[in-house]
Structure 1
Amino acid sequence: MTDIALIAGEGRLAPAIAEALGTPLVYALDGLQTQVAATPFRLERLVPFLDELHDKGVRTVVFAGAIRRPRLEPELFDPRTASLVPRIVGAMQSGDDAALRAVLDVFEESGLNIATVDQILPDLVPGEGVLAGEPSERDRKDAARAAEIVAGLGGFDIGQGAVVAQGLCLAVESLPGTEAMLEFVGQHIGLRPDAKGAKGVLYKAPKPGQDRRIDLPTIGPDTVAQVARAGLGGIVWQAGSVIVLERDVTIAAAQSAGLFLWARA
């Protein structure tokens, strides 16, 4: 589909989108480690890059995967992109979400449509329901507490996840990401007051007001393995707002590990 360009980020989402689209043009920020072959571009030359997309007949762009804020090299700015510097740098100082929104706005202002992942592959974003196992009443209370925590942290642009066990917050996601958070939890799982009580849940959700055009939370088989190693009971996420990669594999892995998967309304 040559009228669609994929801007690839880190993780398994970009390859899944590339496969679904057939043969899209694939690009990635220079220096980003992606799991799909991609042509690099630099933010310092954003306007010429947009010109290239138009020249190749691209009408729609989809962003897939985690994108780290790049280090800008002032000497590499072309004159037209340089005019955007105050806008982009100002947004970067306000946090990752603001920076991404500023860049996305430039794409759209150039005449490109930005498609969301759930528009391209709606089956990747499950609606409400339990996909594996069955959360207990205590698990449901922990999930509700974790949802409150993630929502409360949203304004600080910190992360998209939290771990709660027996009503206690064991960790919140920050820049190192979900895997690092779960490694920390595994090292401190003994902080649960009752060793025989509820094991705890990983909860994932977008930040309140998050731009859904990019960086929706993602879980998959790797997440299941990490949660199992951390000694938790299951994974909960905001229904209709989290990407589940390799759904059948993820469900089978959860069932094998004795974990529940719950898309919570």
Structure 2
Amino acid sequence: MSRIAVIAGQGGLAPAVIAALDAPLVYALDGFAPEVPATPFRLERLVPFLDGLIEAGVGRVVFAGAVRRPRLDPEAFDPRTAQLVPRILTAMQSGDDAVLREVLRIFEEHDLTICRVDEILPDLVPAEGVLAGQPSDADRRDAARAAEILAATGALDIGQGAVVAQGLCLALETLPGTAAMLDFAAAHAGLRPNAKGARGLLYKAPKPGQDRRIDLPTIGPDTVDQAAAAGLAGIAWQAGGVILLDRDEARRRAEAAGLFLWARG
């Protein structure tokens, strides 16, 4: 059976995936060191890197964790990878999702199969249901509004999260990430029309048409703490489309803080 390689990004997902596999090879994009030991590689030498995977007997690859778009050094490209530059630059004009899809195609052209995280750890992607607390009718309306917002903004490749309270969008996730969005929402909580009304929620979902083998939205215990600090009532997400790290600890913290956790169908 072929070996499996993990392309490890930042955050808690890579360690969880690596722990579930039998002696995987672990790599990381240079400049984005994960929380686990990993061999670095550069995108400018992507083809030699893929050759090395094949020589090591790798047939399957799983991407786990957050990686931002690297700065490319034109002088660092080897001749074969340089031939891919027009494809990558064209994809960059359409946003990060397009770049990721193009990178996946290049991996597949080298006979490497891309595995989804939930193929390895199905429990990391919760199915529909309430995991902690209980969203109110107002919370359910806010979640529907947030889902509508993310469906509309997804094509713009902005982010995978929104904070909605009383039908109003207090914050959208952008390049700085979820924690920065929640800090912003906390600073503007006073914009809610009714100070005694619904406190609002964080909602996460993949972008429409997103390749779910890579870059799924991720939440975990730290997200629960951040949502509580922002004064929100809970966290909702698209069932089957969001990774929940350390489910038991996330549920414990949510219950302690009086927040709900809801995988919305």
**TM-score interval for Structure 1 and Structure 2 normalised by the shorter chain:** over 0.9
Other-structure match for 1:158: 158
Amino acid at match of 1:222: D
Contact 1:2 1:24 in 2 (8 A): no
User: Any idea what the Cα deviations from partners look like across 1:187-239, whole Å, max 9, x if unmatched?
Assistant: 11111111111000100000000011100000000000000000000000000
Give 1:242's aligned residue: 242
Q: Which amino acid aligns with 2:174?
A: S
Please list, as runs of the form range in 1=range in 2, the aligned pairs for 1:74-153 lying within 5 A after superposition: 74-153=74-153
The residue type equivalent to 1:181 in the other structure is M
For residues 24 and 96 of structure 1, what CA distance do their matches in structure 2 show? 27
Q: Is the 8 A contact 2:2 2:60 kept in 1?
A: no
Q: Distance in 1 between matches of 2:137 and 2:86?
A: 51
How far apart are the structure 2 equivalents of 1:111 and 1:142? 44
**Aligned 8 A contact 1:219 1:244 in 2:** yes
The residue that corresponds to 1:176 in the other structure is 176
Q: Percent identity?
A: 72
Q: Is the 8 A contact 2:237 2:262 kept in 1?
A: yes
CA distance in 2, matches of 1:243, 1:264: 13
Structure 1 segment 1-265 matched on structure 2, within 5 A: 3-265=3-265
SS of 1:18's equivalent in the other structure is: helix
Please, which runs of 5 or more residues in structure 1 have no aligned partner? none
Q: Which amino acid letter does the alignment assign opposite residue 138 of structure 1?
A: A
Question: AA paired with 2:194?
Answer: D
Partner amino acid for 1:157?
D
Q: TM-score, normalised by structure 2?
A: 0.99
Residues in 1 aligned to 2:111 and 2:22: alpha-carbon distance in whole angstroms: 23
C-alpha distance in structure 1 between counterparts of 2:153 and 2:37, whole Å: 35
Q: Secondary structure at the residue paired with 1:59?
A: strand
**Post-superposition CA distance 1:111-135 (Å, at most 9, x none):** 0000000111111000000000000
> What's the CA shift for 1:22?
3.3
SS at match of 2:171: strand
Cα separation, 1, equivalents of 2:16 and 2:64? 9
Report the CA distance between 1:67 and its aligned residue.
Answer: 1.2
Post-superposition Cα deviations, 1:118-168, rounded to whole Å, max 9, x if no partner, equal 111111000000000000000000000000001100010000010000111
User: Aligned to 1:6, what secondary structure does the other structure show?
Assistant: strand
Q: After the TM superposition, which parts of structure 1 deviate over 4 Å for at least 4 consecutive aligned residues?
A: none
Work out the CA distance in 1 between the residues paired with 2:65 and 2:90: 24
Aligned-pair CA distance for 1:2 = 7.0
CA distance in 2, matches of 1:23, 1:257: 38
Inter-partner Cα distance in structure 1 for 2:98 and 2:196 = 43
TM-score by length of 1: 0.99
How far apart are 1:89 and its partner, in Å?
1.3
CA contact (8 A) 1:2 1:25 kept: no
Per-residue CA deviation, residues 82-107 of structure 1 (Å, 9 max, x unaligned), is 11010011111210000011111000
Q: Indicate if the aligned counterparts of 1:5 and 1:25 stay in contact, CA closer than 8 A.
A: yes
Distance of 1:115 and 1:132 partners within structure 2: 30
